[in-house]
Amino acid sequence: MGTVTLPLWLVILAGVLALVGLLDRLLVPSVRWFIRSRANKVLDEVATHLKIEIRPFQQTRRQVLIDRLLYDEKVQQAAAAHAREHNMPREVVMAQLNSYAREIVPAFNAYFYFRIGYWLGRRIAQSLYRVRVGYTDSAGLARISPDATVVFVMNHRSNMDYVLAAYLVADQAALSYAVGEWARIWPLQQLIRSMGAYFVRRNSKDELYRRVLERYIGMATEAGVTQALYPEGSLSRDGSLRAPRLGALDYMLRGFNPEGERDLVFIPLGINYDRTLEDRTLLLGLDQNAKRPGTLKAAWNTLAFAAHQAGLALRSHWHRFGYACVNFGTPLSMREYLQSQDFDFRKLDKDAREQRVAELGAELMQRVGKLIPVLPVPLVALVFQCNPGRALSELELKSEVETLIERLEAAGAHIYIPRRDRDYAITAGLRMMLLRHLVAERDGLYAADPAQSALLGYYANSIAHLLPA
């Protein structure tokens, strides 16, 4: 009998495929069972102290949620209309729907959220900032029904917002939030999805995709999933609050029944930082003539920034990026709101509903704006912005800051004073600005660097709206 000779590459390929099959049959089910058992154990532990329990919707297997979304009546109606309009076979449209649903639907895992995610969030936040919770309407928060759907509505200053918000409310609820396409890279995508986040395509004009996204958000809201909402849609480029974008808010409200068992409650939340990691990159977006870095260049800039910070740490010259503070405001019950306004979103035509949603969006953004914490760096930056070209002595600077604090307090702003010491707050803010060369000191006088006026304005703008006109 003759021998059969096989190429080496074919033998290797066959071995790899056999190994993959063995892992799929033996190892992968064991790993899934292990992760699922750990997740169930964590669920039992957190159930004893969470103020808002993990909803059954979040514990449902991802494939079941995908199927439920695919065969939702409104999604099926949209699919049929899309097939007729574009003369496409139904199977092709369903395949497209399936890809959208798989892209959007998260895979929440309690173990990843409360063990890995919370640990990472806490370590990252506390390593970079002095994290503080400022004002909290404790009485208002205590009145929220445990069965209500809670949505934290917040301004969007930095990508750190996701980390900070999830970390600070981890003792109350597991947050689900929308994440842009920037996070759809391996392995970040898998981690974020297991944290309960869902991916969205910003500015998508695809009506079929928007209908799938609408129904997922609607289903999660109806099921009581606690969510985080950024009405601005994207990061503020100049530091000021942006006008709200109302798509996700509209999706939450379309099917809300004010007489139903579950209330919908919006909790305004204000975030601010002494330094945001993306400040200079965001300012580039304001210059129409500036050349934006490509993906590789952006990645290189990020690595260079991290290397520079590591070098400072090795030389014992590194300082945390100041304070990061969050304020929690008074909850807004949709049941009470609709009763006082005497209307029902479900009974409005499209134009009337959009107008009402816009009014509510403006009201929520106004509440969020009033909650944005006044921190040392924005406070000192606003003084220099109000005194352009003027060099101030330390005594004059402190006098100007004291006057500004009085004006802000009279307007009802929430000012975070570290250690309850105004002198220390001014010193901390000025030190950070000197380290970043936003302000220069010469002969005992401090003056803003004209070349850094845009960056100075970025921080001043975060609280400028709190001053009376």
How confident is the model over 362-392, as pLDDT tens digits? 999 999 999 999 999 999 999 999 999 899 9
Measure the CA–CA gap between 250 and 262, rounded to whole angstroms. Answer: 18
Mean pLDDT, the chain, whole residue set: 88
Cα 168 from Cα 266, distance rounded (Å): 17
Which contiguous run of DSSP H or E holds residue 177?
strand 176-179
User: What architecture is domain 36-285+319-371?
Assistant: 3-Layer(aba) Sandwich (3.40)
Confidence of residue 199 (pLDDT cuts 50, 70, 90): confident
pLDDT of residue 452: 94
All structural domains of the chain with their residue ranges: 36-285+319-371, 376-464
* Whole-number percent of the chain with pLDDT over 70: 84
- Report helix angle 62-70 to 207-222, nearest 10: 120
How far, in Å, CA of 87 to CA of 84, rounded?
Answer: 5
- Architecture per CATH, domain 376-464, reads as Orthogonal Bundle (1.10)
**At 201, is the pLDDT very low, low, confident or very high (cuts 50, 70, 90)?**
confident
pLDDT tens digits for range 337-349: 999 999 999 999 9
User: How confident is the model at residue 457, as a pLDDT?
Assistant: 96
Structure tokens at 428: 């901390």
On the question of pLDDT at 35 being above 60, the answer is: no
Q: How large is the average pLDDT for residues 179-192?
A: 75
Structure tokens at 158: 């930095």
Q: Is the peptide bond before 187 cis (omega within 30 degrees of 0)?
A: yes
Instruction: Classify 278 as helix, strand or coil.
Output: coil
* 184-210 average pLDDT score: 83
The single residue listed with the structure tokens 């798989």 is 102
Distances in Å between the Cα of 444 and the Cα atoms of 391, 395, 398, 427 are: 9, 10, 14, 14
- Cβ atoms of 266 and 364 within 8 Å: the answer is yes
Mean pLDDT of 241-255: 93
Angle ∠(205,211,212) on CA atoms, nearest 5: 110
Is pLDDT at 95 greater than 80 in this prediction?
yes
Indicate yes or no: pTM above 0.75. yes
pLDDT tens digits, residue range 125-183?
999 999 999 999 999 999 999 999 999 999 999 989 989 998 999 888 889 988 887 66
Handedness of CA 235, 238, 240, 241 (dihedral sign): negative
348 φ, ψ (degrees, to nearest 5) = -95, 150
Per residue in 219-240, pLDDT (tens digit) is 999 999 999 999 998 899 999 9
